[in-house]
Amino acid sequence: MRFPRPAFPHWIPAVLAGILAASSALPTAAEDSVYPVASPAEPGRTNSISVRWKKPRDGRPVAEVNGLDPVRLATLAAQSQPPTDWRRILAVHTGPRGAVRRDLPQLAGDYSVTNGVLRFRMAFPVNHGVEYRAEFHPAEFHGGGDDTVAYDRLYLLPPASDRDRPQTALAEIHPSAAELPENLLKFYLRFSGPMGRGDAYRHIRLLDESGAPVDLPFLELDEELWDPEQTRLTLLLDPGRIKRGVLPNEQSGSALAVGRHYTLVVDADWTDASGRPLKSGFRRRFRVGPADRQSPDPEQWILRPPVGGARTPLEVSFGEPLDHALAERLLAVHDVAGKPVDGSVSLSDSDRKWTFVPTTPWKSGVYRLKVGAALEDLAGNRMDRLFDVDLAGAAAGSTSGSAKAAPGGAVRTFEVR
């Protein structure tokens, strides 16, 4: 079968191929479709060459070249010195036709020859919206001849139709109290779905009462402190500005000033894991109160014991807001034998109150509320250690708060009747 030299510019078939592939949302649209683009009709060539994409396994499609001269193919495959550069013969890349010759590297993947077919398998799965072009160069294969027209084939999974419709929202910010301490250590930003990583700090600002951004209030870490699902970002306030006696604190002072109001602003153009912007921006206004230099003290917490025989809640009032994530994770109920009691936990009253509902009804008896040592309040103070210890004050016996050695955490007991 011969293909006449095309009467239209050579890029048109590629565009058509792209349109064909784009015309269906199904990933299979572009598979197995032999699309022999026009090739030069030269004497002595069979011209049955076709480039096609094979159905992907594990999302990694295979580009195939069929109809190659088997003797020539075997010769090339057997060459080891100098090595056959299969990338020149079958170039697979994400640019426009011919781009690979200029400035774009070719796709990472493996070449193989089986049963007279040259194949390329991508190292990574395909992404929606990216054009993958398999470009066969006959002159490179034959070691000469006209290479102005190549055989090529696009693989394109079109972008999702609702690509730009926002789906993810910033669901909540902790701490949520109206007043936060001057030495506040962190915020948690929880989203309704997974977010994209890499430019978080560009989308978060802290504004003062005049609406002017506070200069460098946050610890900006390239790693960005996300949870594994990337639905929660931990935003640390710059510890250098909180810690007394450190240069940034002495130069610029705390990012937050007592008695002032601030607004934490999150921009709507922050994109989620699939590249969509947020449904809306987010603003949280708060007032700044005095620095908290007291350790959390479980002895002062108020426990409201539940009633036996039912799944009534155990309520614990801290008397102050505690770190949301740590309070959620580090408090646990154990029975008298030391066995953890299964149940669900919730925090309320701006993280001042912890509520536990057991999976099965309470039995009468003594229980223990165990508190992990790593529990922090909003300023990073732990039970056993303040965030920044004033050693001079400690030596003088005037350590504020009731910090005491509790390396293994604390225990409160309560009785269910």
Partner 1 sequence: MNSPLLLSAALAVVATSGGLQAGPDTGFRTGNPGFRSISQLAFGPDGVLFAADTKSAAVVAIATDDTRPPADAQPIRIEGLQKQLSGLLGTAESDILVEDMAVNPASHRAYLAVSRGRGPDAMPALVRTGGGDKLELVSLDSVKFSKAEIPHPPADKVVGEGRRQSNPRLESITDLAFLRDQVLVAGLANEEFASTLHAIPFPFRPAADGTGVEIYHGAHGRFETRAPIRTFVPITVGNEPQIIAAYTCTPLVQLPVAGLKPGAQVRGRTVAELGNRNRPLDIISYEKDGKTWLLLANSSRGVMKVSTEGLPQAEAITQPVPDGGTKGLSFENVAGWNGVTQLDRLDKTTALVLRKPEGGLDRLESLALP
**Residues 108-127 within binding reach of partner 1 (CB under 8 A):** 108-115, 119, 122-124, 126-127
Residues in 13-72 at the binding interface with partner 1, rule: CB under 8 A? none
DSSP conformational letter for 59: T
CA distances from 337 to 305, 333, 367 (A): 18, 11, 9
Residue 160 binds partner 1 (CB under 8 A): no
- Adjacent-strand bridge partners of 181: 289
Residue 3 binds partner 1 (CB under 8 A): no
Q: How is residue 141 written in tokens?
A: 């294969």
Please choose, out of 26-34, 300-308, 321-329, 397-405, the segment that lies near partner 1 by the rule CB under 8 A. Answer: 321-329
Nearer of residues 3 and 201 to partner 1, judged by Cβ: 201
Alpha carbon distance 116, 72 (integer Å) = 10
Nearer of residues 137 and 370 to partner 1, judged by Cβ: 370
Binding mask 243-282 for partner 1 (x = CB under 8 A): xxxxxx-xxx------------------xxxxx-------
Binding test (CB under 8 A) with partner 1, winner from 241, 276, 284, 353: 241
Alpha carbon distance 238, 235 (integer Å) = 9
Q: Which residue has the tokens 């225990």?
A: 411
Burial class (CB in 10 A: 0-12, 13-18, 19+), 78: exposed
Binding test (CB under 8 A) with partner 1, winner from 12, 15, 221, 310: 221
Residue 410 binds partner 1 (CB under 8 A): no
Binding test (CB under 8 A) with partner 1, winner from 1, 392, 396, 405: 392
CA distances from 307 to 325, 339, 342 (A): 28, 19, 16
Alpha carbon distance 393, 377 (integer Å) = 21
* Residues 6 or more apart in contact with residue 82 via CB below 8 angstroms: none
Please choose, out of 32-40, 139-147, 218-226, 299-307, the segment that lies near partner 1 by the rule CB under 8 A. Answer: 218-226
Please choose, out of 18-26, 97-105, 278-286, 309-317, the segment that lies near partner 1 by the rule CB under 8 A. Answer: 97-105
Residue 401 binds partner 1 (CB under 8 A): no
Q: Say whether 100 sits in a helix, a strand or coil.
A: helix
Give me the half-sphere count of Cα atoms (radius 13 Å) on the Cβ side of residue 237: 26
The least distance separating partner 1 from the CB of residue 415, rounded to whole angstroms, comes to 19
The least distance separating partner 1 from the CB of residue 122, rounded to whole angstroms, comes to 6
Alpha carbon distance 276, 229 (integer Å) = 17
Residue 396 binds partner 1 (CB under 8 A): no
Residue 311 binds partner 1 (CB under 8 A): no
Binding test (CB under 8 A) with partner 1, winner from 6, 98, 240, 313: 240
The distance from CA 153 to its chain's CA centroid, rounded to whole angstroms, is: 33
Binding test (CB under 8 A) with partner 1, winner from 96, 281, 305, 372: 372
Binding test (CB under 8 A) with partner 1, winner from 39, 84, 295, 399: 84
Residue 412 binds partner 1 (CB under 8 A): no
Residue 360 binds partner 1 (CB under 8 A): no
Binding test (CB under 8 A) with partner 1, winner from 132, 187, 318, 362: 132
The least distance separating partner 1 from the CB of residue 294, rounded to whole angstroms, comes to 16
The least distance separating partner 1 from the CB of residue 135, rounded to whole angstroms, comes to 13
Alpha carbon distance 110, 152 (integer Å) = 18
Taking alpha carbons only, the member of 197, 262, 189 closest to residue 232 is 189
Alpha carbon distance 318, 403 (integer Å) = 16
Residue 322 binds partner 1 (CB under 8 A): no
Strands of 182-260, DSSP E: 186-191, 204-207, 225-226, 232-236
